[in-house]
Structures are given as C-alpha cells and as structure tokens.
Amino acid sequence: MPTICIPDDHDVYQGNLWGEGGIATNSQNSGGYEEPANWVKMLERTQTSHLPDTDPYNPVQPAPPVAQGIPPYFTGMIYGDVGFAILEDRKFKTGKDNPPADLNQQFLLGTRQKGFLRAWANDWDDQTVKCVISQSPFGNIHTHANSGYGFGLNDRDTHGWPTHRRNEAWELLRKTRMFQIAGDQHLATFAHHGIEDPADAGFSYTAPAIGNFFPRAWDPIHNSAGRIDVVNPYKGDFFFDGSGTLPWGQPNLTSAFPHHVRVLGAGNPHQSHNQTRNISPANLHDRGAGYGIVRIEKNSRQITFETWPLHADPDYPNTGSQFDDWPITISQTDNDGRIPTGFLPLIDSGYQLAPVLSVYNESTGELVYAIRTRDNLVRPPVYDNTVTYRVVIENGVSTITLENQTPLLPEPPAINSFRALEPRISTRATATLRWDVSGAETLTINGEDVLPFTVDGIGFLQVSPGSDTTYSLTLNGTTTGTTIVLVFNEPEPVLSITSAAKDSDASFTSLIPLDTRIENFVIEQSTDLMTWTELGSENTTREITGANVILTLAPFYIPSSPTNFYRASWR
C-alpha cells in the first residue's frame, strides 16, 4: 500500500514553521528555516523522494527549487481512482511576527501551489474523487492548548491565518469538490468550512495524534484556561467576530482573524474534563490519542470518516468504539456547500458513462467547477443566474461542448423519471435504480431514505432483489413513481446485431439481455455495409416495453448521406 509521508515543523527541528518560501532565519516566528538548507533538503528527500514528480504542471522540469535551493515536493498522486493533491502548507507561509501590512504580500500556499491546484482541477484522468493531503486544516479549530489547557483564538500557526489566503484555498478546493485530510493539531476534528457564508465550501478531517503529549481541545463556551468538570456543547456554526452569540446563546467570542467554521465533531481529551479512560498510561490515553480511517465508496461517492481511540481495534468491537461524534458520512458534492441559484439544462451524455463535466463562466472563461459525474445523467448547478455558461463533457475519447447555457430556476416538486437501468437481472446480480426529481424535501424508495444518494435531483441506488420486485419512489410523502426489476434464475444469451435497414425511420426491438443497461443498445450507421459508426444518443430514442427495448431513430435525425444503412447492436 502506498504511503504518503510529508514533513512538518518538528521534522525540521522547529516548534512551528512559517517557511517564507524557504529563506533562512534565526527566529522561527519571523519566518524561514533555522536549520541549514542542506540538512532541510536531506530531511525532505528522506521523507518525500518516493512521491510522484513535484510541481507536475510546471513547464520547467525538473521543477525549480525555492529559496536556498530547497526543492518543493507538492504534487498529485492517483491511487484506486482517487486523486490526492499533496500540499506543503508551511513552506510558503508568511511569518507570524510583523507580517507585511499589504495583504497581497501575505501568503499561505503560495503562487506555485495555487497554480498547481488550478491545473489539478482540470485533470481528472483515472480519478472519480479528489482530496487534499496537507499538514494542518485550513482553519483554526482549537480553543485550548498545552497541558494547562490555555485558552486562545489567535493562533497564527493554524491556517485560519492569513484569512484571505485561507479563503482562497477553500475556493480552489471547492472547484473540484475536494475534501481535506490533515493532522498536526493533536485534536481530531471534522468541520465544514465557509468563505462568505457558513458551510459554503468543503470539509476538513483532522486525524488525532498517535502519541499526544501536547493536548488541545475545542470548547468555545469555556473561554478561559484550565480544565473543567462539565462537557459543554461544542458543535455548531462559528464566526468569532464578537457580534451576536454562540450557538447556545452565550456572547460571541472575538478572534483577530474570524472565519466561518461549522464544527461537526471534536475528539476532546478526557483529561480536559477531568475524566479518564482508566487505561495506562493515562497521559497517553486520556489526551485524545487515536487514529483515523477514511472510506471512499466510489460508486455512490459517499465518504465516511472514522476516528478511533488508540486502544480500539475496529475488527474487535469489544476493544472499544469510536470517538463520540464519529463515524460521519458526506457526499462528494457536499464539498461545495453553496445553495444553487439555478440549474443548467439536464444533460444526458448517452453512452458516455461517468464523463468529466466542466462548467465555465462564459464571460470570464473561469472554471466554476469540474467533476466526474456519477453516470451519464447530470443537472449542473450554478451559483450566478446573471451570466451564461460553457459546459464541456469529456470521456477521454470524445468531447462535447455546449455554449451559451442559461440557468433555469429550480422547478416545483416532481418525479421527472424513475427506472431500473438493468430491468432484467440474474439471481445475485445487481440492478441500478436511477431517478430524476425536482423540489425534493423528502425522498424514499420502499420506505428507505434515498435523499443522501441524490445530487441536484439525480440519484442512484444499487439493489439485488432475490425475486421480481416493484420499487416505489415517493417524493415529499405524496408523489410516487414505480419501476420493476425482473429476476431470472438462468442467464440468457446476449444478442449481437439484431437487423439492418435502409430506411431513415429504422426501428429495432430486442429482448434486454440480463444484467445489461439499455444504454448499451445502440444504432450504427454505414454507407458500405463494412464500416459502421455508432449514432449518438441525441439521434435515437429508447422505449421499454416489458422485457423488450425499442430503439428508433429520432424523428429529427437527418442522415448525412442519401444512401445509409442502419443496424442495432448490444455493446
């Protein structure tokens, strides 16, 4: 199994690191590296030389070093259809003492890493999900630190500062629905970050420390130093600008750099509440030590985060359970928390299953977002109805570009379609149910909540019925649609070519082969009966009648040659 090992501040023998682009320093707080450059290079080479090529989109290769000749190591890695953007969130960061008054001269990721993330957003080769691996979360998500649990909200070692650069980072991650996996904070947290509004960006998961001798806690109500005997509520939306109240009514707190954070989980140490796990040594087990597991379900794009105390083994439940707030599951698209102001017209990419969808602001040319779709049906959300958009759909072989796309307002509640993509399956096989709805507040299939599997009105659910089963989709408790999955004990032979016709009104009927999606039944065209070209889905129509599918040339289809032959086949 590949290992990502990225150095942090203590690895370079500093209590904290503000790298200032690699410069030398004799005071870590002003920014830079205190140890000799050759030693830093040796340390980073030891831990990161196994990673893919650094700064991979830089036209200059090998990628140039930063100050003192220290090479960067930020890069992208693909494993198991997951794209990992591996960042250096300290090497380029501005020192905390006397930073430039000009905000343009304060940095977090630096210009080169931001350029890498922009290029990474357009590169979806062999990837279905993207995430970021870096040292610390892009936010200040602790209120207490050290063995005395000192209180503070202005820790510039966290990436809540510089705030405008932190916001830039979340804007870049949001373009590809990336979530962040981080460490360093000695405290397990799970947070939904905001830029302009609460939770309008993506999620960060900070794993706990394996050995934690510098504990931290998240307890905004307890706004003074020391331990307390009670466990205060700590989850909710926070923006520490001093105005209004905390989520539970207490006066709000004030930070020098407020930013939106919605905390959904915190593995606060037992010690901070004068409690104990009664496991020796207490200074290890009572200070929030543990480990994290992230499970990515690539078909549904559901991501589950687990946080386990150090003594617990997931394979043996009697050894202990997870931290109180975990597991937590999100969808890939939850990493853009904005509420759409409208949607572009529904796109059916036909035989292009799970293509990459890129949406651009047509006037500026800026990428709004890019994502590999879950299937061939997608309704692109947008967040500004005053502009038009260019949409690009790519599957690695062909590209479809749709220009001058105008947003549509959200539609009233309705079930637009609901069907089984494989309506006939063999025993123990799997069928996929797909639906297209609008205005869903609640959504169930045979009583099971499927709203978490629904993205912009499009949803999928895999089922394996043991016998013929009728599935009922219920929208908002009233509107219902149904579809049937037929189950056969023995597989049937798959049809190849069904027929040929010299007629622009060609229509073909076939029994649906078991475990086959009807999108794989296609019409091909030829002028010489030797070379056949598949017609796109926009030129054909399909209709299911029982166990049969009828495939017909679309009524508006105009052949490019007066002499055309047509045949249907199963791909």
The CATH number covering residue 478 comes to 2.60.40.10
Three-state DSSP class for 567?
Answer: strand
Whether residue 117 lies inside any domain: the answer is no
486-509 mean pLDDT: 63
- pLDDT at position 491, please? 54
How does strand 179-182 pair with strand 203-206?
parallel
- The helices-and-strands tally (H runs, E runs) of the chain is 4, 38
| Percent with pLDDT over 90 in the chain | 78
Whether residue 480 lies inside any domain: the answer is yes
Do 193 and 263 sit in the same domain of this protein? yes
Confidence of residue 496 (pLDDT cuts 50, 70, 90): very low
Do 504 and 480 sit in the same domain of this protein? no
Q: Is the pLDDT of residue 489 over 80?
A: no
Do 331 and 184 sit in the same domain of this protein? yes
223-246 mean pLDDT: 96
Q: Is the pLDDT of residue 255 over 60?
A: yes
Do 258 and 314 sit in the same domain of this protein? yes
Q: Is the pLDDT of residue 437 over 70?
A: yes
Whether residue 442 lies inside any domain: the answer is yes
- pLDDT at position 294, please? 98
Q: Is the pLDDT of residue 492 over 60?
A: no
Do 148 and 213 sit in the same domain of this protein? yes
- pLDDT at position 503, please? 54
Answer whether 72's CB lies under 8 Å from 66's CB. yes
- Of 465, 488, 511, which residue constitutes the final position of a domain? 488
Three-state DSSP class for 452?
Answer: helix
Give the residue among 523, 300, 549 at the shortest CA–CA distance from 419. Answer: 549
- pLDDT at position 555, please? 66
Tokens of 145: 């630190």
262-271 mean pLDDT: 97
Do 306 and 185 sit in the same domain of this protein? yes
- pLDDT at position 15, please? 93
- Per-residue pLDDT tens for 533-547? 888 777 788 888 777
Mean pLDDT rounded to a whole number for the chain: 92
Distance separating alpha carbons of residues 172 and 111, to the nearest angstrom: 12
Do 291 and 367 sit in the same domain of this protein? no
| 108-112, 209-213, 365-369: least confidently modelled range | 209-213
Distances (CA, A) of 235 to 219, 248, 263: 9, 10, 5
- pLDDT at position 497, please? 47
Whether residue 294 lies inside any domain: the answer is yes
DSSP code for 533: E
- Of 335, 364, 396, which residue constitutes the final position of a domain? 335
Q: Is the pLDDT of residue 504 over 80?
A: no
Most confident region among 190-194, 504-508, 564-568 by mean pLDDT = 190-194
Do 481 and 393 sit in the same domain of this protein? no
DSSP code for 177: T
- Per-residue pLDDT tens for 400-412? 999 999 999 888 9
387-405 mean pLDDT: 92
Whether residue 430 lies inside any domain: the answer is yes
Do 199 and 327 sit in the same domain of this protein? yes
**Bridge partner list, 290:** 309
Structural domain that includes position 476: 414-488
- pLDDT at position 318, please? 94
Q: Is the pLDDT of residue 490 over 80?
A: no
Distance separating alpha carbons of residues 178 and 123, to the nearest angstrom: 13
Whether residue 59 lies inside any domain: the answer is no
Do 158 and 283 sit in the same domain of this protein? yes
Whether residue 396 lies inside any domain: the answer is yes
Number of domains, the chain: 4
Distances (CA, A) of 472 to 381, 451, 458: 27, 14, 16
24-45 mean pLDDT: 96
Confidence of residue 556 (pLDDT cuts 50, 70, 90): low
Do 331 and 346 sit in the same domain of this protein? no
Distance separating alpha carbons of residues 458 and 62, to the nearest angstrom: 44
- Of 358, 386, 405, which residue constitutes the final position of a domain? 405
Whether residue 95 lies inside any domain: the answer is no
**Greatest CA separation for the chain:** 86
Q: Is the pLDDT of residue 153 over 80?
A: yes
Do 441 and 526 sit in the same domain of this protein? no
Question: What is the Rg, in whole angstroms, of the alpha carbon atoms belonging to the chain?
Answer: 27
